[in-house]
Chain A
Amino acid sequence: MEKKQPDKKVIFKSVKEMPPMPVSLYDVSYNKTGTWRNVRPVINYGKCTYCMICWKFCPEAAITLEPVVIKGKEKPKPVINYDYCKGCGICWTECPVDAIETQEEGK
């Protein structure tokens, strides 16, 4: 499904636009589950040891690893995608160095 993805859930206007059977044609990227969040995780890169535990445990695959160079070494910097983060709290609970702070949404 490497095609252009819609920005909201597709409701076909007519049978003429539809496949003949109930098959999916798009992914779920339209569904910005970030709107579910009450509390937002914020990574404090000062404390982060680049252990990648938050990336590993995220149920939404909403954390990506971006290679950055720190003191001449390549490190995997975790970056949270707030479009999809549901605020479940696993990342800040599992972070071994308490490098993830929480912020109430809408404040």
Chain B
Amino acid sequence: MIKTTIPQEEVLKSGHLACPGCGASIAMRYALKALGKNTSLDIPACCWSVIDGPFPHSAVGVPLFHTAFETAASTASGIRAAYDVLGKKDVNVVAWAGDGGTYDIGIQALSAAAERNDNILYVCYDNEAYMNTGIQRSSATPWGAWTTTTPVKHPKDRPKKDLVAIFAAHRIPYIATATVAFPEDFVKKFQKAKEIKGTKFILIHSPCPPGWKTRPEDTIKLSRLAVRTRIFPLLEVEKGIHWKLTMNVKKPVPVIEYLKLQGRFRHLTEEDVKFIQENVDWEWELLMKKLENK
């Protein structure tokens, strides 16, 4: 008997259309392992609208409703209401959206679903730009990053929107951050979310080789560095008020180790890197003040 640390059964089928080394495809693979086949997905416009495969084919192996860009959360609310009325209360209803469809055009519907505490799991795989349309900036694009709409002479000059804090303010039962370098932590969070009633929000840091200008083989390394530099803390927030770190980073790696692997940051000066490091340190200090476990 082989004992694996994450469920062994594959739900996601090989042959999907993701770029080699795509963080979002690894994320979906883990999510489906954690959630199992009794799951219904709805996916708005994003890379996964294409990754799943062309009509009449599908890669995910579970029911999937492709929906309009801003409607991931509202469609999920409708699906959940239908299942409840039809007596299928145990089916996992999961909205699976990119950062564009979550931070920007989809934030209204998600805020509404969260305010109503609809029993859905909303997952945002964050590759930090509108990748499916060719790498345009979103409000999830980090400070200083190149995108086609924040070219090197005008890189993004605003910080990344803090979605975890926004949804903590909605006081939903469960929020978690996860990334593909830590599969056990990832799967555990999805399995925990599955058992909770109400709105759950999981944010996944999802490296994108073409968009970040990184080597496909570095995806896991980047995802690990994002955590180890404290740029992307792995945490949970329960009921919007109990903040817990699920992986402490006692000796952080300097941010330059993460940034230097990415072409989208190649233009950064020493000043810029210093600024980024200061901000990461400051955000971490703020986080420390909120934590219940230190």
Measuring CB to CB, which residues of chain A are less than 8 angstroms from any residue of chain B? Answer: 1, 9-10, 12, 19, 22-33, 36, 52, 55-57, 59-62, 65, 67, 74, 76, 81, 83-84, 86-90, 92-94
Contacts and interface: CB of A to CB of B under 8 A. Distances in A.
Given A24-B55, A27-B57, A29-B14, A88 B2 contact: no
Contacts of B57: 9-10, 24-28, 30-31
Interface size range of chain B in the complex = 35 or more
Contacts of B20: 36, 59, 86-89
Interface string B169-208: 0000000000010010000000000000000000000000
Contact of B14 (A56, A67, A81): A81
B36 interface: no
A93 B209 CA distance: 15
Interface in B1-31: 1-2, 4-6, 8, 10, 12-18, 20-22, 25-26, 29
Interface of B: 1-2, 4-6, 8, 10, 12-18, 20-22, 25-26, 29, 52-59, 61, 64, 180, 183, 215-221
Contacts of B64: 24
Given A1-B61, A65-B4, A88-B21, A57 B220 contact: yes
Contacts of B1: 67, 74
A88 B217 CA distance: 6
Contact of B2 (A25, A29, A36, A76): A76
A29 B217 contact: no
Contacts of A59: 18, 20-22, 25-26, 29, 219
A28 B217 contact: no
A90 B216 contact: yes
Contacts of B54: 9
Nearest to A38: B20
B59 A28 contact: yes
Contacts of A29: 13-15
A56 to B, nearest CB: 5
A12 B57 CA distance: 12
A59 to B, nearest CB: 4
Contacts of A52: 4-5
A36 B219 CA distance: 18
A94 B220 contact: yes
Contact of A32 (B15, B18, B21): B15
